[in-house]
Amino acid sequence: MRLIVIGGDAAGMSAAAQARRKRGPDALEILAFEMGRFVSYSACGIPYWIGGVVDGPDALVARAPAEFRKAGIEVRTRHEVTGIDLAAQRVTVRDLDGGVSRTEHFDELVYATGATPVRPPWAQVPEEGVFGVQTLEDGAALRAWLDTEKPESAVVIGAGYIGVEMAEALINRGLRVTLVEKAGQPMGTVDPDMGALVADSIRQLGIDLRTGVTVEGLETANGRITAVATDSGPVAAGVVVVGLGVRPNTALAQAAGLPVGTTGGLRTDQRQRVVGRVWAAGDCTEVHHRISNRPVHVPLGTHANKQGRVAGINIGGGYATFPGIIGTAVTKLCDLEVARTGLSSREAEQAGFATVSAVVESTNRAGYFPGAVPMTVKVIAERDSGVLLGAQIVGRTEAAKRIDAFAVAVWNRMTVSDMTGLDLGYAPPYAPVWDPILIAARKAEEALRKVPPRP
Amino acid sequence: MRLIVIGGDAAGMSAAAQARRKRGPDALEILAFEMGRFVSYSACGIPYWIGGVVDGPDALVARAPAEFRKAGIEVRTRHEVTGIDLAAQRVTVRDLDGGVSRTEHFDELVYATGATPVRPPWAQVPEEGVFGVQTLEDGAALRAWLDTEKPESAVVIGAGYIGVEMAEALINRGLRVTLVEKAGQPMGTVDPDMGALVADSIRQLGIDLRTGVTVEGLETANGRITAVATDSGPVAAGVVVVGLGVRPNTALAQAAGLPVGTTGGLRTDQRQRVVGRVWAAGDCTEVHHRISNRPVHVPLGTHANKQGRVAGINIGGGYATFPGIIGTAVTKLCDLEVARTGLSSREAEQAGFATVSAVVESTNRAGYFPGAVPMTVKVIAERDSGVLLGAQIVGRTEAAKRIDAFAVAVWNRMTVSDMTGLDLGYAPPYAPVWDPILIAARKAEEALRKVPPRP
């Protein structure tokens, strides 16, 4: 029996590792192909590497190929799978360094190719000084540019998680940073009122945040970037980072006839099976959103790891399912902490929910305790049932991970009314006697009472 | 209509405030009696005041009597209620400064007398230099002693939450501190294996922790404390703090014929009603433990506030219930963070559960992220069902409040298996890609699989 894994990052290598735990090398041969030089790394750590907060790239690698080999998992980096023949149970693999292609037989196949950065037409001609931050190679290239060219100004395009984290990394390195966002707010994953708090904080860091601005092209001299052209004029740039999100990397799968869903991600069943002996996991797949009951594409390492683990357990003869996601995410921007779970107001509306929301200002610690700082908590509940649909937090410290309590409440479909009685941890260094979560639940409960009955 | 409140701290004043929100001064007169000089204060803040971390006593007062008066709530401090006549709807009140007693009529009564420190016989003779830390007056007396007598050594008796916090406060003031505990571990609210981690940390702070040691008496000279006599010899002490826990203060209620439960606390219904128009809330009551399904006495400000709010809403003509507790608690000892929720292993056993537990070592942040420090997480699950019964955390930073996610999971009776799929917040500054909570749930799930089937 032979398992072939396409893609050597979180999802693929988690699958490989779990399959190996279940089945020894005599029962199952495992062979993983990775296009890049690195496997099993934390792409989420790249902005911190660029910013000089953590070392890289080696520190970002959880397990090197040699370690996998010791565990009986053969890993071939710089090997690109260029074709899948499902009927013949074969993949075609090209050695990117040697240039040779060959075919390899599989009994089980894990498709874990990840996602591809979104690049508008203007960004598709490679210009010197324009970078994505998707792979460790991207990170290394950007760092080399920063170290050798020493640009004074940077433009980051896109103010989602990666864009915001990259803007911080670059300003920490002393660059003048402009952050350009097409939408009216940074971090479109939170509601506009919470986004406004984030925008204020970004500007307080000295980042020139420009919302509602569309990029129209790149300006270059001698093939090197000089500025970003926007609908409100050019912005000088010695380096450009594009953070416009990613799309599931499914070209190979589609060519092989594997089913792709409405989000563009591969469709799998509960056990991460695509068809027959083909499995998929990670950023190349779509996942079930437990609250909207819709398929969504949410490229996050935490899901990739879980999905990979589930696929590996099943391949290894065990039984596991991936239960779907609820949209939890946390971000740090210097001392600003932003978190969300469940559905935002807009997402809830799009899913057809009528909602009531409440926003409260509280503090992370008892008001009299040193280090107490403000924290804003928003709660979104279904209008008639009072079921918690989502929550968002913006704070300064000890704020973001509080979202986990909300996440578990969303997961269990608690009502905000039930939440007001929750027994959460209280001590002055950790919370006011009414935890911000409880205050928000109380305020949402009150808001629900004021909603007029439906006609 | 007149509401009389006996006891002016968290429970009583929350009840008064909520009743006032529901009913204006024309519909309801509210009169609160408090024995001490302060109302509505954070007793939990006293150790931090003693340790010089926060100011006091005023900073610990949430609302002063004058503020309550402005809100239409009459507060009389230094007034002790000495009798309740239920049939006549009257209380007898003594002005502790004037010495005069009078009776006051009530239509509704809130009994919120709090708890009384446990004092063994040897501690019942007041000696100079021996203190409790129950009220702000206690705190002020201890601070005055420390400031004027400048003792070099302190003995703290009892290594529960208060004892541990007081030991830290005193060592922060430069005293030599011995912490004496009868049981084999500090913080009996966590399992012995977690308690051992706490013991190590206490000792690393330079606190002389002596477990398994019984106090036999106090040694004095000229009426002033000189040492604590124990079954393993005397310990010199220029000041002694007694932190042996508290008992519900129900003498007055029992004299009036009100029902007291097996824990010694007043029994109430779901709405905090004792009988007829008598309500009770806070440390003087017993509460329902949602997991053991037993009444328990858990004197914590967070419960007192919630119960008081519930009583006040009901008195004001609204409807609210207190859903019970699950035993969540968090403590800080310098940079050590300790948290628990649900049942400990012993509590689970006492409640009749067969359990399986798992302990994992992880970190608060991604391992490669600066500031990543170890964190130990213990999960206790029911043997056959896999339902999460409790969890405990010992860590260094960003650890304790993670208990809230466990608390919401316990509250919703999740299985550890379901918990392995939870969508918790992930970003390198906040968690490893597998959050410690998920790792613990996975390990507990594995442990459950290994349990042999019952004969």
Q: What is the pLDDT of residues B400-415, one digit of tens each?
A: 999 999 999 999 999 9
pLDDT at B453 over 80: no
β-strand pairing of A278-280 with A224-230: unpaired
Please write the tens of the pLDDT for every residue from A401-444: 999 999 999 999 999 999 999 999 999 999 999 999 999 999 99
Which pLDDT score is estimated for A68? 96
| Window A:272-291, CB contacts with B under 8 Å | none
What CATH code is assigned to A329-449? Answer: 3.50.50.60
The model's confidence at residue A106, banded by pLDDT at 50, 70 and 90, is very high
Cβ within 8 Å, pair A433-B10: yes
Which pLDDT score is estimated for B126? 67
Matching residue, tokens 């009901």: B314
Q: Where are the alpha helices (DSSP H) in A256-395?
A: 301-315, 345-350
The model's confidence at residue B122, banded by pLDDT at 50, 70 and 90, is confident
Which pLDDT score is estimated for A125? 66
| Window A:381-420, CB contacts with B under 8 Å | 398, 400-405, 407-409, 411-412, 414, 418, 420
Average pLDDT, chain B: 96
Give B211's strand partners: B181
Q: Which residues of A touch B434 (CB under 8 A)?
A: 302, 305
Task: Name all contacts of A288-291 with Cβ < 8 Å and 24+ positions apart.
Answer: A288/A324, A288/A325, A289/A324, A289/A325, A289/A326, A289/A327, A290/A323, A290/A324, A290/A325, A290/A326, A290/A411, A291/A326, A291/A327, A291/A342, A291/A343, A291/A351, A291/A389, A291/A390, A291/A410
Which one from B44, B141, B275, B296 is the annotated catalytic residue? B44
Query: Do the domains spanning A2-116+247-315 and A329-449 agree at the CATH topology level?
Result: yes
Please write the tens of the pLDDT for every residue from A290-321: 999 999 999 999 999 999 999 999 999 999 99
For the beta carbon of residue B26, count every other beta carbon within 10 angstroms.
8
Please write the tens of the pLDDT for every residue from B266-293: 999 999 999 999 999 999 999 999 999 9
The model's confidence at residue B8, banded by pLDDT at 50, 70 and 90, is very high
Domain B329-447: give its CATH architecture: 3-Layer(bba) Sandwich (3.50)
Which pLDDT score is estimated for B77? 97
Q: How far apart are CA A343 and CA A328, in angstroms?
A: 9
Query: Which two structure tokens, joined as six digits, stand for B16?
Result: 């008064």
Q: A284 catalytic, yes or no?
A: no
The model's confidence at residue A52, banded by pLDDT at 50, 70 and 90, is very high
Mind telling me how many Å the CA of B217 is from chain A's nearest CA? 31
Cβ within 8 Å, pair A433-B48: no
The model's confidence at residue A7, banded by pLDDT at 50, 70 and 90, is very high
Is it true that domain B2-116+247-315 has CATH number 3.50.50.60? yes
The percentage of chain B sitting over the pLDDT mark of 90, rounded to a whole number, equals 94
Higher pLDDT, B334 or B158: B158
The percentage of chain B sitting over the pLDDT mark of 70, rounded to a whole number, equals 99
Cβ within 8 Å, pair B401-A430: yes
| Window A:311-370, CB contacts with B under 8 Å | 321-332, 339, 341, 366, 368-370
Please write the tens of the pLDDT for every residue from A335-382: 899 999 999 999 999 999 999 999 999 999 999 999 999 999 999 999
Cβ within 8 Å, pair A423-B44: no
Say if residues A414 and A387 touch (Cβ distance below 8 Å). yes
Domain residue extents for chain B: 2-116+247-315, 119-244, 329-447
The model's confidence at residue B454, banded by pLDDT at 50, 70 and 90, is confident
Cβ within 8 Å, pair A301-B368: no
pLDDT at B190 over 90: yes
Please write the tens of the pLDDT for every residue from B204-251: 999 999 999 999 999 999 889 999 999 999 999 999 999 999 999 999
The model's confidence at residue B350, banded by pLDDT at 50, 70 and 90, is very high
Q: How far apart are CA A109 and CA A253, in angstroms?
A: 11
The percentage of chain A sitting over the pLDDT mark of 90, rounded to a whole number, equals 93
DSSP conformation class of B261: -
Mind telling me how many Å the CA of B186 is from chain A's nearest CA? 18
Q: Which residues of A touch B42 (CB under 8 A)?
A: 366, 368, 428, 433
Q: Is the peptide bond before B121 cis (omega within 30 degrees of 0)?
A: no
Q: Which of A336, A404, A406 to mutate to test the interface with B (most CBs of B within 10 A)?
A: A404
Query: Which two structure tokens, joined as six digits, stand for A437?
Result: 């979560």
Give B376's strand partners: B361, B394
Q: Which residues of B touch A421 (CB under 8 A)?
A: 306, 321-324
pLDDT at A126 over 70: no
Task: From B135, B425, B37, select the one nearest A402 (Cα to Cα).
Answer: B425
pLDDT at A455 over 80: no
Which fold, A119-244?
FAD/NAD(P)-binding domain (3.50.50)
Q: Which residues of A touch B414 (CB under 8 A)?
A: 408, 412
Q: How far apart are CA B241 and CA B70, in angstroms?
A: 37
pLDDT at B54 over 70: yes
Q: Which residues of A touch B281 (CB under 8 A)?
A: none
Across the interface, of B45, B306, B339, the residue whose CB is closest to A368 is B45
Which pLDDT score is estimated for A223? 85
Which pLDDT score is estimated for B213? 98
pLDDT at A454 over 90: no
Cβ within 8 Å, pair A300-B326: no
Task: From A143, A214, A215, select the one nearest A173 (Cα to Cα).
Answer: A143
Average pLDDT, chain A: 96
For the beta carbon of residue B391, count every other beta carbon within 10 angstroms.
31
DSSP conformation class of B246: E
User: Both ends of chain B: CA-CA distance in Å?
Assistant: 64
Across the interface, of A422, A428, A437, the residue whose CB is closest to B411 is A422
pLDDT at B193 over 80: yes
Q: Which residue type does B426 have?
A: Y
Which pLDDT score is estimated for B125? 67
Q: Is the peptide bond before B57 cis (omega within 30 degrees of 0)?
A: yes
